[in-house]
Each structure stands twice: as C-alpha cells, then as structure tokens.
Amino acid sequence: MKLLEKLIEVRGTSGDEAEIKDFLLNHIHEVKQNWKVQPQIIAGEEFQDAIILVFGKPKTALFAHIDTIGYMSAYGKNLIKIGGPRAVEGYELVGQDSKGEIETELMLIEDENGSTSIQYVLDREIDRGTPLSFKPNFRETEEYIQSPYLDNRLGVWNALQVAETLENGIIVFSTYEEHGGGSVGFLGRYIYDNYQVRQALISDITWVTDGVHHGKGVAISMRDSGIPRRKYLNRILSIASKSGIAHQLEVESAGGSDGTMLQKTDLPFDWCFIGAPEDNVHSPDEKVHKFDIACMVDLYKVLMQEL
Amino acid sequence: MKLLEKLIEVRGTSGDEAEIKDFLLNHIHEVKQNWKVQPQIIAGEEFQDAIILVFGKPKTALFAHIDTIGYMSAYGKNLIKIGGPRAVEGYELVGQDSKGEIETELMLIEDENGSTSIQYVLDREIDRGTPLSFKPNFRETEEYIQSPYLDNRLGVWNALQVAETLENGIIVFSTYEEHGGGSVGFLGRYIYDNYQVRQALISDITWVTDGVHHGKGVAISMRDSGIPRRKYLNRILSIASKSGIAHQLEVESAGGSDGTMLQKTDLPFDWCFIGAPEDNVHSPDEKVHKFDIACMVDLYKVLMQEL
Amino acid sequence: MKLLEKLIEVRGTSGDEAEIKDFLLNHIHEVKQNWKVQPQIIAGEEFQDAIILVFGKPKTALFAHIDTIGYMSAYGKNLIKIGGPRAVEGYELVGQDSKGEIETELMLIEDENGSTSIQYVLDREIDRGTPLSFKPNFRETEEYIQSPYLDNRLGVWNALQVAETLENGIIVFSTYEEHGGGSVGFLGRYIYDNYQVRQALISDITWVTDGVHHGKGVAISMRDSGIPRRKYLNRILSIASKSGIAHQLEVESAGGSDGTMLQKTDLPFDWCFIGAPEDNVHSPDEKVHKFDIACMVDLYKVLMQEL
C-alpha cells in the first residue's frame, strides 16, 4: 500500500495530468524488470498525457483513469469545480501557482438569493486558473483504506498489480475521465486500429449503495447511466462465478466512466466497469474495504487471462 | 402484418439485442431469394448485434434500430428504465432470468418525500440486472395498428419491405438507439470507409402532435433536437413532392434518433428522419395509422432510388 | 470593417450554411492573390458546407464557425430556437420561404400555466421549417462595434485577417457550432489524418463578465465547460506574455465551443479558445471593443507562427 499512498500524493486534476504521467512512466521503468512480460510502452505528445502498455498478444484492454477531481481558482477568491467534487466547508486544498505552494481551505458563501458560491480562504489571491486538489491524508486500519482520490488512484494501483503477471493484454492509463471524457476516444482508436482489441474492462471505483456493500467483494456493474452489451457481460459473469472470487452485482441508473465514453466513440468496443465500492464518494474521506481491493486485483488477473 | 407481429414478439431491450439480431438474420436468409437483388450480409462480433445489408452500388443508407425501451431489475423489487419508457401502474412486463420465464406488473410507490419509485409485483425476486419488456399485445383494426414497440419494429419492418425491391443501397439494423447511442458510430464509419456512403435516412417512428396527424401520410422531420443539413433536406422534400406520396412536415424542438447520433460522429453524414407518426409514445399502446405506414414504405422506395 | 459588415448580412443559421460558404469561397478567390502564401482550398459536398484552407506546412489549425443562432418556424406561428438566441419581444427577424422575403417580429405569449411560447407577428403563415435570423443592424462608434452575429462573424473576419500573412497553418471554417456540433469531428479527422495537425485555436467570441472586461485585450480562456490541456495552455500563455499583446485570462464554468467538440472526438487534439469578449451575448446587440478586436488579430498572427 506504500505505492498507493505515493500515487495519491501526486497531483493531477483533469487536464493537468503531466505530473502523474511522469511519475507512472518512471515507476514503470523502475519495476518492469520484475514483471513476467516486458510490455511495449506507448506515450508521447501524440497521446497527450496518457500511457498505453501492450503485453504479448492482447485481446482485452484494462482502462484506469489517472486524473482526479478538484477545483480551479477563478475570479476573486471563487473556485470552480473540476469534475464533481463534494464541497464541504473546511476541506483542505493544495496546489501551486507562480507565487509558490498553496495550502488553503474551502469556504461556502451564501448570497442574498440563497445561492451558494465556493471560495478559498487565503491572505492572497491565487493565479487565475490554478488547479487545486484535496490535501493527501492517507489512513489505513486493519480493514479499511481511507483517503482522497482512491477514485481512481486505486484503479491505477490495481492496473499496476495486474501488470506484474500479465502475459497478454493492454493497460491504458487514460486522462480527463472526471471532466467529461477526452482521451478514451483516441486511445481506443489506437488500440483497435493497431491490435484489433475491442474488449475493455474499466478499472475504477464505484459506490457503496443499498445493493453494494463494504467487504462483500469487488462490484461488477451490470449498468450505470450506460448499459454494457449483455453478451459480453454474461461472459464476464460466467468467468467470475467459476473463479470463486467474491463479487457483487451492481445495477445503477446514474454514473458514468471510461466505459460510457468508449460507447460514444465510433468503435465497436465492449466494456464493463469492475471495481471495489467506496463510501464518501468524491470527498477527502473516500473509504474502501481491503477485502474488496484484494478481490478486485484477483478478478482482474483472471479476466485479463480468460476473456 | 404477420411479420410485424412476429418482430414485436422478439425481445431486445438496448444492449440485449442478440435474440432480435438472430431472428432477423434467419428471416433474411429465408426470404432473400425472393428479393430483386441479393445483398451482401455483414454481421458478426465485430459488429456487435448490428447487421448491415449492402445492395448493388449504394449511395444512401437506411438506418432502422432494432432495440427497444424497457426496464431492468435492480435491488429489492426496484426497476430502472432502459431508454425512456412510460411508467403507468399495471403495465405488464415480461422477461427471463435464471429461475425461468417472468410475467409481472409495474407498480408505482410514492415515498414520504413525494418521490416515486418504480417496482414490480411478483412473489419472488428477479435476478439483478434482468431486462424486462412490455408484454406483446398486437391489435389491428381497419385503420390502425396498436401494439408496444411499433417504435421501432415498424421501422425495421419498413426496411424489410424496402429490401424486397432495392437495387442499390444499404440497410443498417442498428442497436442501442433508445439508450444513448452506441453502434451508429462504428456502423457509419464502416459504410463510409468501405462504400463512401454519407447519405442516411432514419427509418423510425415519430409523434402525433399539433402539427403531425394520423392518416395524413408519412412525416418528414425538418428538425428535432438536431437539425439536418438544409441542402440535403431540400433534395428530399423535392423528391417527396414530385412523388405524389402523402407526407407531412414535422418541426420539433426535442427528440433524437440515430440521425442525431450520426451527426455526433467524426463522419460527414447527411441524415433525415422519415417515419409514420404514433400516438401513446413509448407505452404498450403505441398506435399508428395504416395509411401512414403505406406512405412510409412507398416514400422510402422512391428515396432509396432517387437520392 | 466593411468586410465584417458584409459577413453579417449573409444569412447562415446552423444547418443552413450554404450561402455563407459560397460567399466565403467567392471572397477568398477574389482576395487571395494579395495573400502572402496561396493556400490549398478544400471544400465540396464531402465537407458539407465547411471550408479548409491549408497554408504551407501547417502545425496549428484555427477554427472559426460560420453558422449563427436563430429561429425556425414551426406549427401555427410558433418559433423554435436554433442554438441559444435570446428571446425578447420586438426583436426583428428576417428570412425567406416559398412566398418570398420575410420581415417579422418576435412576440412572447404566456399561456394559462405561466409557460412562454415564442411566436412571430405576420399576416401570413411562414412555411414550416424556415430559418429566421436577426435583422442586420451594424453600428460602429470610435470605440465599439455593435451588431447581431459578432459571434461569430468576427471570428471568421479574424481568420481572414490572419490569412493575409499566414505562411504555415490551417484555417477551418466550421459549421453547426451553435447547435451542438457536427462538422468539427470530420474536419478534425481530415486535417489530423492528412497533415498530422493536432493543435487547435478556437477563433470565437466570448463574454464580458466579472473577470473579463471591454478594452482590456483579447481573452484567453483557461476553461469553460471544457478544460484545455494544461501543457498546451501554458505554451500559449508563455507566447502571449512574451508578445506584449494585451490579453485577459478567462475562467468560466459554463459555455462550449468547437474546442469542446474537438475534445469529444476520437482525436488527440489540443485546443484553446481565444477571442474578444462581447456584451449582450446572442442578441441583436452584441457589442465588442475595437481594441480587443485588434489584440485578437495580433495574438492569432503570433500564435499561428510560434505554436
């Protein structure tokens, strides 16, 4: 979990993923000699801040988004959301502008019309357009991990666990997921055109709800705002059942992921969201059960082999 | 109309179109020897559950979506919508899960906050994520057809009528239309890349409104939420006028179709929605005038030849 | 400014850009012998009503949309919006249908439920589906230009100024921007596939707000509903700073452009919206400061060279 903690410390709101991309590239170069198969590493300006790893003869691609939600400084001391972060008075935010490191707190201001604006508390103005992130605050107990940005540093961490033993498959570190898509289109096209891969698994974190609970295993999403194709879903459910790995079935009406973005491309991708569930979504206190994390890694290893 | 009734009996909510695809492929193989021109039949996993028929040297593609609206079982006895079905107490729903055939009824539950949830009435729980459809209930009078899923089994049936005499053209049976697109992108790209076809007609069912009435002919949509390109629309209106086939002009601010999806692709497709109007949209009681159906088939035959 | 006034007189609501396209093609053919470099002119049915100009060896593409907002006649005397025009009683609208030229006025009708419909005042009915535009009304003072459709005839005019001295670069005249995208996808794909260009500047008009004022220079948008990639934005900000050209930084939560459309394609485009700010957005009284227009042209000339 040391790696997960480190991943969480690296900033990278949607559109500003250069730092986390560099961290990942460095990390991959350091550890890949211990991996079972050496992947081809595809990155560079033509891929913006995304990374593609190709192992052996791939049939399935795992997508893990490397961007996070956050805030951006606007006019005066106003903040504008990047993606959909929760806004609670006192949340600690960090960032950097031309005057140096920033550590500030979120404040809610209600105006006479009853509408609320989000501001920061600081004795100076932050440069316009500066991205701010939740301050890292990693907590670990016997049973749980709690921290900002388990969504989706945990999905990224899962991808790196899978990479250790992966023989055939693609791992995609995508960008812009929290703020309405952006890189999944050209990444999907690249792997479809070059490797004819059109099976995707979305390594991301979902919600604890009435039907999905802590400690009951990884969640397989049968739908959110998007609906994965039934034939593909049934193959996944069948492999999951035979595997004996604990899993839960999710059926939601809302929410989206790199999967729903893939579905909107001009590509015949099948996709399914599979991830551990978390409490306190999009807050600094996201909380995931360790058993569900272990199940997530186990199920991904099986699926990347058998699908 | 026997074929239309059979088409309506085959289930296929968005994302679960395997059964209706198989039905269509079988039907096409059975009847195509009676068609004027033998089409190339393009289908398979790379096209998910969609089908493309290519006749002669095509200039125009007819799109008919084969999926339907419906419901999906969620937690407890809750139902979640697939697409935008009407929800009225007592609507009969059918489906199938691991325990067998399901026949149930829709129930609306208002909670203490005044918000309504949709549930099913059954003495057992349905497997999570099971798709449910309106129970078939085909009614025919001298003047009208009434049934669930005239949208879009009637658009599919129209395509099959057109196929009988089509010499040059493409017929696309698309998927996922009711739930936010999905296959039109890669289908459009396939026919654009392989046949340079970029003219589309959307064979679908529209609404009876203040300006579009039963029995006045097929509706040509001048716009819905999307706006077809004027130059293309003018060519269609000119051909329709000369044909003498009864038609009505529709101008709506809302609604979408495979046409609006085509417009969002990276493809220079022109498109126009042309279809008979129906009453009781997205309910088990959709109702279309037979004269409008006849006009729809006639106009499509002319347009597929002359555009 | 004579050219700008002429551009504003040519009608072209979203989907109906044939006339403004023809005007632009004629104008370009007339004046291009005075341009420093002769561009390749790419147009034709395969590009719908859009135009691409390719100068030398391009690295960056300027996008200027040629469509405008407006209204469309529906049933009775009702009007439906094309894009998001303001609706104020008395606004003058012009258009043409089978019975000839139309000059009418907008009227707001409140029904018993308190909902408002938009109608036109005329002693005859306008053909269904006829596009109507704000009546041209060009006003110029020492400091300001005021007129309908500065958004985006001014962005188009800017592109034509840049064309005069452009040595390497692409200018794209796009369509459908005001009504939800349409051509940017295939235009982007064309220039990416054929010229490997993936840097875009969006030549469009933005809003005067709390943070962006008349006469303070051209606005560089750090975000609207979409977020441009930070690395690309930083390069632009650095070039703008060194240039000494007056500019303002915009940070908004809403609004979109051809840039947000580019981001939704399957293409790795970087994009940034740069444009003079206007008051009275989407009304017949759009107002822009002349100094901001001059800065816009100057900054585009520098950026198209240095990016």
ipTM: 0.95
pLDDT of A182 over the 90 cut: no
Cβ separation of B48 and A253 shorter than 8 Å?
no
Q: How far from the centroid of its chain's Cα atoms is residue B301's Cα? A: 18
Judge whether B234 is closer than 8 Å to chain C, CB to CB.
no
Known binding residue A178? Answer is yes
Q: Where in chain B is the domain with CATH 3.40.630.10?
A: 2-68+138-306
Judge whether B265 is closer than 8 Å to chain C, CB to CB.
yes
**Distance of alpha carbon A175 from alpha carbon C231, whole angstroms:** 13
Cα separation of the two ends of chain C = 28
Region C50-67 average pLDDT? 98
pLDDT-based confidence at residue B70 (cuts at 50, 70, 90): very high
In chain A, the percentage of residues whose pLDDT exceeds 70 is: 100
Cβ separation of B223 and C72 shorter than 8 Å?
yes
pLDDT per residue over A262-279, tens digit each?
999 999 999 999 999 999
Question: CATH for A2-68+138-306, among 3.40.50.10190, 1.10.357.10, 3.90.1300.10, 3.40.630.10?
Answer: 3.40.630.10
Angle at Cα A174 formed by Cα A168 and Cα A177, nearest 5°? 135
Residue of chain C nearest A77, judged by CA positions? C211
What pLDDT is stored for residue B32 in this prediction?
Answer: 98
Is the pTM higher than 0.80?
yes
CA distances from A62 to A155, A222, C141 (A): 10, 17, 59
C194 torsion bin: left (phi>0), alpha (psi -120 to 50), beta (else): alpha
What pLDDT is stored for residue A34 in this prediction?
Answer: 98
What pLDDT is stored for residue B243 in this prediction?
Answer: 98
Phi, psi of C185 (to 5 degrees): -60, -55
Known binding residue A204? Answer is yes
Average pLDDT, chain B: 97
**Distance of alpha carbon C116 from alpha carbon B126, whole angstroms:** 45
Residue A134 in tokens: 């939740």
Cβ atoms of B245 and B302 within 8 Å: the answer is: yes
pLDDT per residue over A75-106, tens digit each?
999 999 999 999 999 999 999 999 999 999 99
CA distances from C122 to A137, C78, C111, C128 (A): 66, 11, 20, 14
Judge whether B228 is closer than 8 Å to chain C, CB to CB.
yes
Residue A85 in tokens: 């972060």
Cβ separation of C266 and A189 shorter than 8 Å?
yes
pLDDT of A192 over the 90 cut: yes
In chain C, the percentage of residues whose pLDDT exceeds 90 is: 97
What pLDDT is stored for residue C175 in this prediction?
Answer: 98
What pLDDT is stored for residue C247 in this prediction?
Answer: 98
Q: How far from the centroid of its chain's Cα atoms is residue A210's Cα? A: 23
Sign of CA dihedral A227, A231, A235, A238: positive
pLDDT per residue over C199-234, tens digit each?
999 999 999 999 999 999 999 999 999 999 999 999
Cβ separation of A263 and B182 shorter than 8 Å?
yes
Cβ separation of B222 and C128 shorter than 8 Å?
yes
What pLDDT is stored for residue B228 in this prediction?
Answer: 97
Domain A70-134 has CATH 3.30.9.30: no
Nearest to C197 by CA among C295, C16, C80, C62: C62
Distant-in-sequence, close-in-space partners of B86: CB < 8 Å, separation ≥ 6: B281, B282, B283
Residue of C5, C89, C125, C177 marked catalytic: C177
For testing contact with chain B, the best of A184, A192, A227, A236 (most B CBs within 10 A): A227
Q: How far from the centroid of its chain's Cα atoms is residue A142's Cα? A: 24
Phi, psi of C85 (to 5 degrees): -70, 150
pLDDT-based confidence at residue C112 (cuts at 50, 70, 90): confident
Sign of CA dihedral A214, A216, A220, A225: negative
pLDDT per residue over C135-174, tens digit each?
999 999 999 999 999 999 999 999 999 999 999 999 999 9
What pLDDT is stored for residue A220 in this prediction?
Answer: 98
Give the count of alpha carbons within 13 A of C267, CB side only: 28
Q: Which of B15, B72, B264 faces A229 most closely, judged by CB atoms?
A: B15
pLDDT of B186 over the 90 cut: yes
Average pLDDT, chain C: 97
C contact residues 133-172, partner B, Cβ 8 Å cutoff: none
Q: Which of B49, B128, B188 faces A251 most closely, judged by CB atoms?
A: B128
Nearest to B164 by CA among B274, B17, B298: B298
What pLDDT is stored for residue B195 in this prediction?
Answer: 98
Phi, psi of B124 (to 5 degrees): -135, 165
| Least confident residue range of A118-132, B106-120, B142-156, C72-86 | B106-120
pLDDT per residue over A115-164, tens digit each?
999 999 999 999 999 999 999 999 999 999 999 999 999 999 999 999 99
Phi, psi of A45 (to 5 degrees): -55, -30
Burial C223-260 (b: 16+ CB within 10 A, else e): bbebbbbbbbbebbbebbeebebbbbbbbbeebbbbbb
What pLDDT is stored for residue B1 in this prediction?
Answer: 85
Burial B81-100 (b: 16+ CB within 10 A, else e): bbbebebeeebbbbbebeee
- Helix H or strand E segment including B25: helix B18-31
**Distance of alpha carbon C92 from alpha carbon C136, whole angstroms:** 9
pLDDT per residue over B29-69, tens digit each?
999 999 999 999 999 999 999 999 999 999 999 999 999 99
- Chain A positions touching C229 (Cβ under 8 A) are 15-16, 48-49
Cis status, amide bond into B152, omega within 30 of 0? yes
DSSP state of C127: P
A partners (3+ CB pairs within 8 A) are B, C
pLDDT of B178 over the 80 cut: yes
Q: How far is A223 from chain B (nearest CA, A)?
A: 8
Question: DSSP string covering A64-123, please?
Answer: EE--B-EEEE-STTBEEEES-----TT-EEEEEETTEEEEEEEEEEE-TTS-EEEEEE-S
Q: Where are the beta strands (DSSP E) in C18-73?
A: 40-42, 51-55, 60-65, 70-73
What pLDDT is stored for residue A180 in this prediction?
Answer: 82
3-state secondary structure of B72: strand
- Helix H or strand E segment including C287: strand C286-289
Distant-in-sequence, close-in-space partners of B242: CB < 8 Å, separation ≥ 6: none
Known binding residue B65? Answer is yes
Cβ separation of A226 and B180 shorter than 8 Å?
yes
Judge whether A128 is closer than 8 Å to chain B, CB to CB.
no
Give start and end residues of each alpha helix (H) in B112-250: 150-165, 184-195, 230-243
Q: How far is B27 from chain A (nearest CA, A)?
A: 21
**Distance of alpha carbon B202 from alpha carbon B225, whole angstroms:** 14
In chain B, the percentage of residues whose pLDDT exceeds 90 is: 97
What pLDDT is stored for residue A135 in this prediction?
Answer: 98
Question: DSSP string covering A238-306, please?
Answer: HHHHHHT--EEEEE-SS---HHHHHHTSSS--EEEEEE-EEESTTSTTEEEEHHHHHHHHHHHHHHHHH
pLDDT of B199 over the 90 cut: yes
Cβ atoms of B118 and B89 within 8 Å: the answer is: no
Angle at Cα A124 formed by Cα A122 and Cα A130, nearest 5°? 85
Q: Where in chain B is the domain with CATH 2.40.30.40?
A: 70-134
Cβ separation of C82 and B198 shorter than 8 Å?
no
What pLDDT is stored for residue A224 in this prediction?
Answer: 95
Sign of CA dihedral A242, A245, A251, A252: negative
What pLDDT is stored for residue C185 in this prediction?
Answer: 95
pLDDT-based confidence at residue C113 (cuts at 50, 70, 90): confident
pLDDT per residue over C233-279, tens digit each?
999 999 999 999 999 999 999 999 999 999 999 999 999 999 999 99
pLDDT-based confidence at residue C114 (cuts at 50, 70, 90): confident
